[in-house]
Amino acid sequence: MTEKLAHTPPAAPARGPRGLIFEIGAPESRCVEPPALDVPEVDLDEVLGGAARVEPPVLPHVTEVEIARHYSHLASMNFGVDSGSYPLGSCTMKYNPRVNEDACRMAGFSGLHPAQPVETVQGALELMVGLAEALAEVSGLPGVTLQPAAGAHGELTALMAFRAYHADRGDVRKRVLIPDSAHGTNPATVTMCGYETVTIPSDATGGVDMAALHAALDTDVAAVMLTNPNTLGLFERNIIEITRAVHDVGALAYCDGANLNAIMGVTRPGDAGFDALHINLHKTFSTPHGGGGPGAGPVCVTEELAPYLPGPLPVLRPDGVYDWQVPARSIGRIRAGYGNFGVLVRAYAYVRALGAEGLAEASEQAVLSANYLKERLRGAFELAYDRTCMHEFVLSGSRQKREHGVRTLDIAKRLLDHGFHPPTVYFPLIVEEALMIEPTETESLAELDRFADALIAIAEEAAADPDAVRSAPFTTPVRRVDEARAARTPDLRYDPAR
Ligand SMILES: *Cc1c(COP(=O)(O)O)cnc(C)c1O
């Protein structure tokens, strides 16, 4: 049992909102004093041909100490991986080693321009080729593009390559099969690519329903998109049978590899018969993410599909010079520049620091942590699928809802009072009142225990004092927000006159 938490909010939460930057400071306040003018004064409006603005812009007027405190305060109201554990299932919110940040900020990397001649960017190209080789090794798929900017972007890239591959065989196919446990980006990608999604149900053990899969497979199917391990945190037991059946009808097998942190260095999607895979570097290979920051979703493919990859690709020419090359049947460029290079540098630093053994150990640790938490929590909550899990597992809050009228959303909010970011909730959709927990390999045993203790305490509180759980959180800068109104009528503009 953890200590009982306060039910009443503090009179004035010290971490509460303190106003916008426009509302602090004074007209005469400045961070910087420009030096006195030592060149002839010009009329800006004349220089700009009458295009200078008429009214001065509304800018905040603050001193350096005010701006420092303002942003430090905002940061302290936020919750991030550096504030506490963040077991957001499927998102892999793990600790990102600082050394990777140092590496990507080195001037020789951060100051590059995409249009620089190749002779001046040999080091950057060498890094990209080295990273592509490492990802080929990890995935078991030799063709690699680093261009896609996110996992979903990688999915689209691969499906476009699939379509080009089928088209080259004079094969027009219409449908893509996706299990009902898939991430929402999978069907969205299918639709964007002009295909039709067919949903395949899961069986009682959380795997693909094989009878339904076989029934849906025909020569109109372009591809099957599978996540392995799937979003229930379960390794697909029939994976070889699935990829074989897909190939038997001339379709291609796609693996959503966003959950690669469960298997890297242990088993390879290429060896299981997949034709293509995307990898979320910002999840598995330690780039800070969330809030829409830059990511990278490299795609690895078989030799047969490599000619369709987006170009240009970084290559080592036979004369030892690194260069760009466009694959023979390329689908073209899918992103400006060559990808989010800073993310690639972090991933390269991470791979080189851990090595093959370290990557395997990271996966093993992630799986061990998830299974440990699952065993500690199985008494307090219903377990959606009672199997050994991979890097994450799914609990259900349906007992709490049924017996005490406490919903999963309430449990998630109450966790905030215990100092934890809540897990993913209400996903995957096939589990009622789902709580999807991914502890990651970077949390210590003590921290895993603290998290389990908090969830068990909340389960006990749901029975003893359900109102307290339903009214949580009590200690956060902002309490419950009206999420529907925030989504439907967002008020994001600052009006100085208001
Ligand atoms: C995160 C995730 C994605 C999407 O990745 P983005 O980088 O957010 O586009 C796709 N599939 C799965 C299983 C994921 O966890």
Q: Give pLDDT, residue 418.
A: 96
CB of 189 sitting under 6 A from ligand 1: no
Show me where the domains of the chain are located: 21-77, 98-354, 359-488
Q: Is the pLDDT of residue 451 over 60?
A: yes
CB of 81 sitting under 6 A from ligand 1: no
Q: Tokens representing 391?
A: 């890097």
- 279 within 8 A of 154, measured Cβ to Cβ: yes
Ligand 1 atom with the shortest distance to the CA of 152: 9
Rounded distance from Cα 275 to ligand 1 centre (Å): 19
pLDDT band at 10 (very low <50, low <70, confident <90, very high): very low
**Is 257 strand, coil or helix?**
strand
Ligand 1 atom with the shortest distance to the CA of 90: 15
Q: Is the peptide bond before 473 cis (omega within 30 degrees of 0)?
A: yes
What is the overall mean pLDDT for the chain?
93
CB of 185 sitting under 6 A from ligand 1: yes
* Amino acid present at 127: L
Q: Give pLDDT, residue 4.
A: 52
Rounded distance from Cα 46 to ligand 1 centre (Å): 51
Rounded distance from Cα 122 to ligand 1 centre (Å): 31
Rounded distance from Cα 93 to ligand 1 centre (Å): 12
- The sheet carrying 252-257 orders its strands as 143-145, 299-301, 276-279, 252-257, 221-227, 175-179, 196-200
Rounded distance from Cα 289 to ligand 1 centre (Å): 12
Q: Give pLDDT, residue 15.
A: 59
pLDDT band at 24 (very low <50, low <70, confident <90, very high): confident
CB of 152 sitting under 6 A from ligand 1: yes
Rounded distance from Cα 183 to ligand 1 centre (Å): 7
CB of 183 sitting under 6 A from ligand 1: yes
**Unique residue bearing structure tokens 């299981």:** 272
Options 3.40.50.300, 3.40.50.10490, 1.10.510.10, 3.90.1150.10; which CATH number does 359-488 get?
3.90.1150.10
Rounded distance from Cα 326 to ligand 1 centre (Å): 27
Mutate to test the pocket of ligand 1, among 256, 259, 260, 287 (most ligand atoms within 8 A of CB): 256
pLDDT band at 334 (very low <50, low <70, confident <90, very high): very high
DSSP string covering 116-149, please? S-GGG-HHHHHHHHHHHHHHHHHHT--EEE---S
Q: Is the pLDDT of residue 379 over 70?
A: yes
CB of 148 sitting under 6 A from ligand 1: no
Q: Tokens representing 380?
A: 């307090």
Q: What percent of the chain has pLDDT over 90?
A: 82
Q: Is the pLDDT of residue 101 over 90?
A: yes
Q: Please tell us whether the domain made up of 98-354 is placed in CATH 3.40.640.10.
A: yes
Residues 6+ apart with CB under 8 A from 375: none
Q: Give pLDDT, residue 5.
A: 56
- Nearest to 165, CA basis, from 328, 329, 311: 329
Q: Give pLDDT, residue 57.
A: 87
Q: Give pLDDT, residue 290.
A: 78
Q: Give pLDDT, residue 369.
A: 98
pLDDT band at 82 (very low <50, low <70, confident <90, very high): confident
CB of 150 sitting under 6 A from ligand 1: yes
Rounded distance from Cα 151 to ligand 1 centre (Å): 5
Mutate to test the pocket of ligand 1, among 88, 90, 178, 284 (most ligand atoms within 8 A of CB): 90
From CA 99, how far away is CA 115, in angstroms rounded?
28
pLDDT band at 78 (very low <50, low <70, confident <90, very high): confident
Q: Whose CA is nearest to atom 8 of ligand 1?
A: 151
Rounded distance from Cα 192 to ligand 1 centre (Å): 16
Average pLDDT on 320-347 reads 96
Q: Whose CA is nearest to atom 14 of ligand 1?
A: 258
Q: How far apart are the first and last CA of the chain?
A: 48
| Least confident window among 161-175, 283-297, 346-360, 372-386 | 283-297
CB of 258 sitting under 6 A from ligand 1: yes
Instruction: Give CA separation, 83 vs 75, 86, 416, 473, in Å.
Output: 10, 9, 12, 17
Average pLDDT on 245-266 reads 97
Could you report the per-residue pLDDT of 183-216, keeping only the tens digit for each? 999 999 999 999 999 999 999 999 999 999 999 9
pLDDT band at 323 (very low <50, low <70, confident <90, very high): very high
Rounded distance from Cα 274 to ligand 1 centre (Å): 18
**Unique residue bearing structure tokens 């851990």:** 354
Q: Is the peptide bond before 35 cis (omega within 30 degrees of 0)?
A: no
Q: Whose CA is nearest to atom 2 of ligand 1?
A: 258
pLDDT band at 92 (very low <50, low <70, confident <90, very high): very high
Rounded distance from Cα 304 to ligand 1 centre (Å): 25
Q: pTM for the whole thing?
A: 0.90
